[in-house]
Structure 1
Amino acid sequence: MMQHSRLEGTEILLRCFDQISDAARDQLGVELAIIGRELRDRQRAAAPEDTGALRGGLGVWLMLEQLRVRIGVIGQRNRRSRKRSYGDLFYARIVEFGRRAQTVIVQRRRRVKVDIGDGKQKAILRTSRRRKLAADIATTYSMKVKARAPHPFIFVEGAQETATQRLVNFWDQTLSRAGA
């Protein structure tokens, strides 16, 4: 959902991983997890707190095999197949980047009762290929949406510098231990 950026110099670093030991690789994974949690905490501090859902939706995903870490609202590209306890955070992009004033078309659907067996029925919203069925659209109207200024909380200031400093300290310690 959100744009992501690579830390500068990671391509060169990734080429060197074939030459380092498994212990150093595991330790680098631990360091990346620490960096990820630290940056996530900074994102949580910068996130607006109307309901707390945005703060609760921020996470860290460590991909140890690739030595990568993703921080922010994770898993929103495939949100239809995932049930999240904090709800659907589609609006995180609107909060982060803002939006312009516009008029949108809204279609309200009616729920259709279907048999679920044993003489029971359930009211559902029917779809076909993830699209609304035309027969179920009850009303269509236009709605004005107000402009919203951006409130950056995913791309926090100083993230690059924090990660770079921690990685420099890690490599200083690792290389000094290897030389000793």
Structure 2
Amino acid sequence: MAEYQATPSTRSGRPRDPEKTIAILDAAWRVMAAERKRLSIEQVAREAGVSKVTIYARFAAAEDLSDAAAVYYRKLLLEKLHAAAKCVSVSESMINVGLMFVHELQSNRLCFWTLSQFGIIGDVVSILERVLEADAVYGSRQHKDRTEVCYLLIGHWLMIALSWADQPATKSIVKERVAAAWLHASNLMIPR
């Protein structure tokens, strides 16, 4: 997957508007999340409010655009999840990351297809493992145990998101379920 660079191009001619590029990447991600199939440049152009020429001036083919959109969205998602993980307590961090993850699933910016297609689950596991490693109680547990707990949590979060796929639940209900998932997972890690 090619890395999307938001830096100015060294090409000659008129400079490209970075806001249009971001609008194109956002539209491409929405189309990929909604359609779960090959990207349509025409549909992305409509969604972004630009012409196909504008898209092709930035991306040679639909595959390049989908790769760039995935890199861009993944970067944004990881920034959000890292920010959510920066809390005083492990429990607070895990619950915040869970809430952010479920929110992204329910808002359709992140869908089950994109989770597997772009390796996002592994990124989330890495964030959760770092939170656990930084804690005295959970950090002392074996790496295998921490990883299993992280996957268990993500599985719970996916189930929470699926439970309200048609009608998103209130924030308090989601928070209650995410907290219960963390309580269940954390109990598996406490030495007996």
Q: Same fold (TM over 0.5)?
A: no
| TM-score after normalising by structure 2 | 0.27
| TM-score after normalising by structure 1 | 0.28
* The structure with more radius of gyration: 1
Larger proportion of strand: 1
Larger proportion of helix: 2
